[in-house]
Structure 1
Amino acid sequence: MKMSCYRRVVVAGLLAAAGLPLVAAVTPAAAQVGGIVHDPRNYAQNILTAARTLEQINNQIKQLQNQATSLVNEARNLQSLPTSTLQELQGQVDRTRELLGKAQRVAFDVGDIQKAFDARYKGAALSAPQAAMVANAEARWTDSVGAFQDAMKVQAGVVGNMGASRQSIGTLVTASQSATGALQAAQAGNQLLALQSQQLGDLAAAIAAQGRAEMLDAARAAAAEAEGRERFRRFRKGH
């Protein structure tokens, strides 16, 4: 009889812990087994308390795991890109600027251009004595030839930079695809934009050099035409 009573008490405690309705026939509320008083209600309450505590601990563990994951992601996002092509790009820009700076006779300078045109391409230079006109014509021809030579040098430099640019593009695209965080991806994108700017600068330099050569040649032709008219006027006047 005592064993049967104990079983009922244990069953009642398990049902209470599981949240199931207790059977009204389970009695008594407290039983004494082997000299120990067992209260099923208190036992069930302790089980529920332990379950809630375990659930809270699990939630705290998940929160800590999420925080650790977030910190790892932030650390990745703050990692700097190990690859940099800035020095190569600056070298290419410097080489192009050096070629432009070596422009012969008529440089890429407003003041220098004005002086050259005043001395050889217009005004008194086109109505000077015969010897001066011949010298000016020779100087203009030298200007034109030098300008075309300069344009070809700049174009050759731009073509030379294309090989280095291609290598830089491959390096940066690879770095961008293997970027582990937002900062690395942004830095790779910025370097690609810098490379594009350098290529646009090379294109502008080539166009400027070519345009300079064409304009000087056109100015030479116009000056030669003006001198021809002056010579013809002098010829008619002499006869």
Structure 2
Amino acid sequence: MSRFSSWLAAGAIMVMLGGQEPAQAQWIVFDPNNYVQNVLTAARTLQQINNQITSLQNEAQMLINQAKNLASLPYSSLQQLQSSIQRTQQLLAQAQRIAYDVQQIDRAFSTSYAPATGNQSSQMLVTNAQSRWQNAYTATQDALRVQAGIVGNLDTNRIQTSALVTASQGATGALQATQAGNQLLALNGQQLADLTAALASQGRVQSLETAQRAAAQDQGREQLRRFLTPGQGYQSSNVQMFH
């Protein structure tokens, strides 16, 4: 009876436990294949992001370089060069008497430098000689003034050359280097203009001196012819040769 009672008690407990739902257990399932795929996907995504960042950095650097290449040179010597050329031009324009004018030269060589003839009076011959001397004298003065102006430009040229070379060496882009080079070429052009002016003024002196000697020789022959002509004796007169 006691054993039978124990079986009944155990059956009752089982019935009671059978009417209750056991608690649900939570399990974490690890899938190695899925984990590897996720890691590879994340790595590829990170690599793509790094590539995009590198590409953006390169594009930004390219834009910076383009901006440098398009940047203008902050220094300009144009005004100083124009002032130097203008000073030289003014000195040439101030040339006295026979200047750099074709019509004026033609008139002078048809009058003062024209061959001496028998129809010209002695006073006219002396007047022409005096005019030729004054032309040579003032041409020498004009040449010296032009040369003095060119020498005065040398200091300006030295300053501009130093500034342009410094700007060229410190150029940040192609445009600045090109502009510095162009300004150096302009400076060379200004120096060539000064050299041309010096040669022109000195050549004017030499040409007038040559013309003066040729006219004086021709006038001397005419005066000798008149002196040796029979029946025409020498007559002295007061003549003012130079002022």
TM over 0.5: yes
Give the one of 183, 198, 215 matched to 1:206.
198
Q: Which residue type is aligned with residue 36 of structure 2?
A: A
Residue in 2 aligned with 1:7?
A: none
Counterparts in 2 of 1:115-134, with a 5 A limit?
115-123=107-115, 128-134=120-126
Runs of 4+ in 1 over 3 A off after TM superposition: 123-127
Distance 1:127 1:167 in 2: 60
Distance 1:125 1:38 in 2: 131
Distance 2:140 2:188 in 1: 27
**Residues 56 and 125 of structure 1, relative CA distance in 2, 3 Å threshold:** farther
Q: 1:126 Cα deviation (Å)?
A: 8.4
Aligned residues with identical type, % of pairs: 55
Secondary structure in structure 2 of the residue aligned to 1:238:
coil
Give the one of 201, 221, 231 matched to 2:223.
231
Q: 1:127 Cα deviation (Å)?
A: 5.7
**2:134 maps to 1:142:** yes
Deviations along 1:8-33, whole A, 9 cap, x unmatched? xxxxxxxxxxxxxxxxxxxxxxxxxx
Residue in 2 aligned with 1:9?
A: none
Give the one of 80, 83, 88 matched to 1:88.
80
TM-score between both structures, scaled by the size of structure 2: 0.82
Residue in 2 aligned with 1:17?
A: none
Gaps of 5+ in 2: 1-25, 232-243
**2:194 maps to 1:186:** no
Residue in 2 aligned with 1:27?
A: none
Residue in 2 aligned with 1:72?
A: 64
**Residues 108 and 125 of structure 1, relative CA distance in 2, 3 Å threshold:** farther
Give the one of 159, 165, 170 matched to 1:167.
159
Gaps of 5+ in 1: 1-33
**2:163 maps to 1:153:** no
**2:39 maps to 1:47:** yes
Q: 1:237 Cα deviation (Å)?
A: 1.3
Q: Which residue type is aligned with residue 127 of structure 2?
A: A
Whether contact under 8 Å (2:117, 2:222) holds in the other structure is no
**Residues 92 and 126 of structure 1, relative CA distance in 2, 3 Å threshold:** farther
TM-score between both structures, scaled by the size of structure 1: 0.83
* Alignment root-mean-square deviation, CA: 1.3
Alignment length, in residue pairs? 206
Q: 1:123 Cα deviation (Å)?
A: 3.6
Distance 1:175 1:153 in 2: 33
Distance 2:117 2:62 in 1: 77
The 10-residue stretch of structure 1 (115-124 or 92-101) with the greater mean CA deviation from structure 2: 115-124
**Residues 125 and 230 of structure 1, relative CA distance in 2, 3 Å threshold:** closer
**2:17 maps to 1:62:** no
